[in-house]
Chain A
Amino acid sequence: ELKVEQNPLFLSMQEGKNYTIYCNYSTTSDRLYWYRQDPGKSLESLFVLLSNGAVKQEGRLMASLDTKARLSTLHITAAVHDLSATYFCAVDPRSQGNLIFGKGTKLSVKP
């Protein structure tokens, strides 16, 4: 069974702190996606990781991919309140757009 597991599922952190969200997946996938969702809103694409060892950074967020370990990380540096949202990772095991999503990590950044 295809599984995409994120942890933690809930994360409360203080502004200025660093933390990492983990995404494990159970099948091969040649790409991995990270999305952000604000409450009641749609999904915003953050990163598309296409190869082993890929690392992408945007502002305070950095994503990496290890296809051998089937693991992706989303690292948050010096968190700010505006980063509060739910973050999803997703894989595309058949390379045709049938994305398999994790359950999401609900991040709350407190002053």
Chain B
Amino acid sequence: NAGVMQNPRHLVRRRGQEARLRCSPMKGHSHVYWYRQLPEEGLKFMVYLQKENIIDESGMPKERFSAEFPKEGPSILRIQQVVRGDSAAYFCASSPLPYAGGPGEQFFGPGTRLTVL
């Protein structure tokens, strides 16, 4: 049973370019979460998606960032016109169907380390 898959693992972009990060959840998981981790910091929630729906995007910057989780294919986190401050590790997590009124335990992917030159 493959875990959460993310690609690419490392991504280098120049300022002003676009970055696309992909996440395939664990088999049977219908909930996807994106987090950002700055060096020496904890993870910060960005967005929570189910298939074809954005459930909570309260942690997403208002501009340049978008996320989707289409009916078919991986979830995509897209960053337009990247700036140096976007350099971070971006982790995707997935969880199975909700239990006890809320999502279950989250399982994290290996992360994408974005470097903006």
Q: Do A and B come from one complex?
A: yes
A residues adjacent to B (C-beta < 8 A): 4, 30-31, 33, 35, 41-45, 48, 50, 88, 90, 92, 94-104
Task: Pull 22 A–B residue pairs with CB atoms less than 8 Å apart, ordered by A.
Answer: A30-B102, A31-B102, A33-B106, A42-B109, A42-B111, A43-B93, A45-B106, A45-B107, A48-B105, A92-B102, A92-B103, A95-B100, A95-B103, A96-B103, A97-B33, A97-B102, A98-B45, A99-B35, A101-B43, A102-B42, A103-B42, A104-B41
Q: Is the CB of B91 within 8 A of A43?
A: yes
Q: Nearest 3 pairs between A and B by C-beta? A: A95-B102, A101-B42, A97-B103
Known: A97-B48, A97-B106. 20 other contacts (CB 8 A): A35-B108, A42-B91, A42-B108, A42-B110, A43-B43, A45-B105, A45-B106, A45-B108, A48-B105, A94-B56, A95-B100, A95-B101, A95-B103, A96-B56, A97-B31, A97-B95, A98-B33, A99-B106, A101-B43, A103-B42
Inter-chain CB contacts under 8 Å: number: 68
B44 in the interface (beta carbon within 8 A): yes
A41 touches B110 (CB 8 A): yes
B110 touches A96 (CB 8 A): no
User: Across the interface, do A98 and B42 meet the contact criterion of CB distance under 8 Å?
Assistant: no
User: What residue in chain B is nearest A41 (Cβ atoms)?
Assistant: B110
Task: Give bound CA distance, A95 to B102, whole Å.
Answer: 5
Interface SS of chain B: helix, strand, loop or mixed?
A: strand
How many residues belonging to B are interface residues under a CB distance threshold of 8 Å? Answer: 27
Set of chain A residues within 8 Å of B103, measured between Cβ atoms: 92, 95-97
B70 within 8 A of A: no
- A94: which B residues are within 8 A, CB to CB? 56, 102
Bound form: Cα–Cα A58–B13 in Å: 41
